C-alpha cells in the first residue's frame, strides 16, 4: 500500500485545526489509559500526518480506524460534537424562522473537592432526573408549552478539581411569550436547587450561583459552537497559562498544557477525566426535540 502522505502545506484553518488535533492525539497516545484511544488512528491519505503517526504506520504497529470515544478522544470527540453542532444549528435556525424562541441555561451544583469526579457527574444526572420527577416541574413545563431541550455536559478545571455542569438549550413555541419563558426558566432554577437539596444539603446552591439563563439571538454558528465546544479545537488557544486552575481550561486544553509544561498534576487531572467520563452520555436531546429538515448532511 502507498504510504506517502500529501505534503501540501496547511493553509485553511480547518485543515490546520485537524492537523493540530491529530498532533494532540499523538501526545495523548503516549499517556492514555484508555485502550481504544491508544489504537485510534484517524488519518486520511490526502492529509498530512504528524510524524509520530507516520512512524507507527511504517512500523505496521497500528491499523487504520477510529476509536469512537465521544468524551476523551481528541479527534473522535471533536467529530461527534461537530455533528451535534451542525444538527442543532439547523434546528435552531428553523425554529426561530418559524417564530419560536431559543434560550440557554446553565445548571450546576456546588463544586467540592470532597467528591470524586465520577461522583460529580452522577450527582448532576441524579439532580436532573430528580427535578424531572417533580410535579411542579411537569406543571411548569406544561404551562410553558412543553419546551424541548438539548442538554450538554461541560467541564472545566478549577481549584476544586473538575467542575462538570449542564448547558441546556430550551426551545419555546411561538405562542410562548418572553415573560412566560422567563417565568419557566426562573422556576427551573428553583426546582433544580430543590432537587439538589433533596440529594444532599451540601449541594445547596445560592440561587444565582452558577445558574443563569438568557435568550439567544440565534446567529448561525455562534450558539452551537459554544454549546458543543467540548472537543472543539480552538486555534486561538495560547500556551501562556499563568494558573491552569483559575483559567477554566477544558480537558483537552489541560492535556495540551500538560504536554507544553510537563506539569504532572495536569496529567493526573487528565487521567481522572478519562476515567470518570468513560460511560458518560455527553449530549441528551428531549424525546420530541425537532429534527432538522435536511439530515443527515452531506459535507
Binding site for Zn ion (CB under 5 A): 40, 66-67, 73, 76
Buried b (16+ CB within 10 A) or exposed e, 120-149: bbebbebbbebbeeeeebeebbeebbebbb
Q: Which is nearer to Zn ion, 67 or 218 (CB)?
A: 67
Number of helical (H) and strand (E) elements in the chain, helices listed first: 10, 5
- First vs last C-alpha separation in the chain: 27
Q: Which is nearer to Zn ion, 22 or 167 (CB)?
A: 22
Closest distance between Zn ion and the C-beta of residue 228, in Å? Answer: 17
Asked if 252 and 30 count as a contact pair (C-beta separation under 8 A), the reply is: no
Q: Please list the residues that pair with 169 across neighbouring strands.
A: 104, 150
Distance CA(265)–CA(258), nearest Å, equals: 8
Report the residue number, 168 or 283, with the smaller CB distance to Zn ion: 283
Residue 101: its H or E element: strand 101-107
Report the residue number, 76 or 218, with the smaller CB distance to Zn ion: 76
Question: Three-state SS for 152?
Answer: strand
Shortest spacing between CB 139 and Zn ion, in angstroms: 43
* Min separation Cβ 75 and Zn ion, Å: 5
CB of 69 vs Zn ion, minimal distance in Å: 5
How far is residue 248's CA from residue 82's CA, in Å, rounded to a whole number? 21
Q: Is 170 helix (H, G, I), strand (E, B) or coil?
A: strand
Residue 203 or 277 with smaller CB distance to Zn ion: 277
Min dist. Cβ of residue 37 to Zn ion (A) = 6
Give least dist CB 25 to Zn ion, A.
7
Residue 67 or 185 having the CB closest to Zn ion: 67
Amino acid at each position: 500500500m502507498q504510504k506517502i502522505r500529501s505534503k501540501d502545506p496547511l493553509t485553511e484553518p480547518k485543515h490546520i485545526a485537524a492537523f493540530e488535533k491529530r498532533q494532540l492525539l499523538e501526545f495523548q497516545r503516549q499517556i492514555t489509559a484508555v485502550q481504544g484511544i491508544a489504537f485510534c488512528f484517524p488519518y486520511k491519505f490526502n492529509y498530512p500526518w504528524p510524524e509520530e503517526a507516520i512512524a507507527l504506520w511504517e512500523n505496521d504497529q497500528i491499523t487504520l480506524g477510529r476509536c469512537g470515544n465521544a468524551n476523551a478522544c481528541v479527534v473522535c470527540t471533536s467529530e461527534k460534537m461537530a455533528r451535534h453542532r451542525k444538527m442543532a444549528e439547523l434546528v435552531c435556525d428553523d425554529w426561530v424562522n418559524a417564530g419560536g424562541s431559543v434560550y440557554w441555561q446553565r445548571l450546576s451544583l456546588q463544586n467540592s473537592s470532597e467528591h470524586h469526579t465520577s461522583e460529580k457527574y452522577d450527582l448532576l444526572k441524579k439532580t436532573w432526573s430528580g427535578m424531572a420527577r417533580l410535579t411542579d416541574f411537569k406543571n411548569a413545563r406544561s404551562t410553558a408549552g412543553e419546551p424541548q431541550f438539548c442538554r450538554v455536559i461541560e467541564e472545566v478545571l478549577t481549584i476544586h478539581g473538575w467542575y462538570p455542569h449542564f448547558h441546556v438549550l430550551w426551545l419555546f413555541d411561538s405562542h410562548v411569550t418572553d415573560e412566560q419563558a422567563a417565568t419557566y426558566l426562573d422556576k427551573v432554577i428553583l426546582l433544580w436547587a430543590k432537587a439538589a437539596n433533596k440529594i444532599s444539603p451540601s449541594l445547596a446552591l445560592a440561587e444565582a450561583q452558577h445558574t443563569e439563563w438568557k435568550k439567544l439571538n440565534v446567529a448561525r454558528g455562534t450558539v452551537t459552537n459554544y454549546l458543543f465546544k467540548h472537543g472543539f479545537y480552538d486555534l486561538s488557544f495560547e500556551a501562556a497559562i499563568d494558573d491552569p486552575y483559575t483559567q477554566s481550561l477544558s480537558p483537552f486544553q489541560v492535556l495540551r498544557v500538560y504536554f507544553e509544561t510537563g506539569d504532572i498534576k495536569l496529567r493526573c487531572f487528565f487521567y481522572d477525566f478519562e476515567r470518570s467520563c468513560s460511560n458518560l452520555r455527553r449530549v441528551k436531546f428531549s424525546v420530541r426535540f425537532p429534527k432538522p429538515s435536511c439530515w443527515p448532511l452531506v459535507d
